Amino acid sequence: MSTRPDRQRNYLETERRNAYRGLDNEPVADEAERVDRQTAEKMAKALVSATSEAGKGGASSKLMLALYAAAFFIFSSFLYTRPYLRVSSSTPYKELKDTFQHAAHFVLKDTYVGQDFFNRWQWETFDDPTHGRVNYVDQEVAKQNNLSYASDTKFIMRADSTAIVPGDARGRDSVRILSNDAYDESVTILDLAHMPEGCSTWPAFWTLSQRGPWPNGGEIDIIEGVNLNQANLASLHTSPSCSMPQYRDQNGFTISTDCDAQVNFNQGCGVKFAKPSSYGDAFNAQGGGWFVMVRTRQDGVRIWFWSRNDPNVPSEIHDMPQPGLLGGPPDISPNPSWGNPEASFPIADSCDYDSHFDAHSMVFDLTFCGDWAGADYPNTSCGSNCVDYVNNNPGAFSNAYWEINSLRVYTPI
């Protein structure tokens, strides 16, 4: 969970388009493409001519046709792969890399719905490490005060929205929970109906090393934002020597590239989602949606998002899990129908997977003010003082709650 003011940067669409292609110089790429097209046109004309000559008969004409056809096929294949060749001093194109080139199959390991959260998660009560104006309560108190409750199909955890907070109290009552189980390579699918929203709020769904101590073993922020944000921020926070490229196969916008938790006040390496309605009241107005994290040693960490009404949400994400092959456990395999992830954190020489990541537990929490939301608060229209707002406006937190339909975790076959 990030502990710093967000230093967001906006990139011009033209710059982003050029960068996505891996270009240092757009005119250079355009010239290369022009030459490629001219060469292809010449070869196509030669192939048509050879076809005409072969129709007149003769072994030599048919041989020439075969040679021209083979050459045209080879050149066409080169044109297809050329945009993905490694960047060098002699080419403006980027390295061959496909989001799904190491596609793997995963089977359903665990499902959390309703009462499962009470039975298989811990309610944490220590002081907020991000210095928020919050009082994390245990499970018994959370149940008694209706801050955590469940049905057969829902689990809800919320902040108190009735009490004035005394000045000498630790903060407003809220909930922070940690999964008992931890997962390494996996696919995590969160079907979320509602997330906390509003001034001073700082909710997060994230994972961290079960072994630790933090930041050893890494941290992955899947959902995070503050105050009145409407775009989600996904981030990694790691031990030293982990960084990400500025430009990657993702829909989102790179905010920062150094994942080292000791750098820049633990900003981490973050990506702001490009899809609309990925956070806050905008997310809730759409009826929620799905967040999916895939982490593997081959491809690193990738995070997708689909809002509730998105017609492109894959059926394996949207629908209830179905039995796998020959009646086995449900399975899933990330594939091109998913499109590019909103955030991609590729594993390469600049961030070795096994040196920075191990099995992670999952965390949901909701704090107020603190290192990020408190620092961002003056930039909002919320009021003059974050702590005073939390203390004296209980009704403002009526929408500060998580409503979870399901959380599913798949692990490799």
31, 41, 185, 219: which one is catalytic? Answer: 219
185, 224, 316, 342: which one is catalytic? Answer: 224
Across-strand partners of 172?
134
User: Does the CA dihedral 335-280-204-225 come out positive or negative?
Assistant: positive
Identify whether 316 is a catalytic site residue: no
Identify whether 124 is a catalytic site residue: no
Catalytic residue set: 219, 224
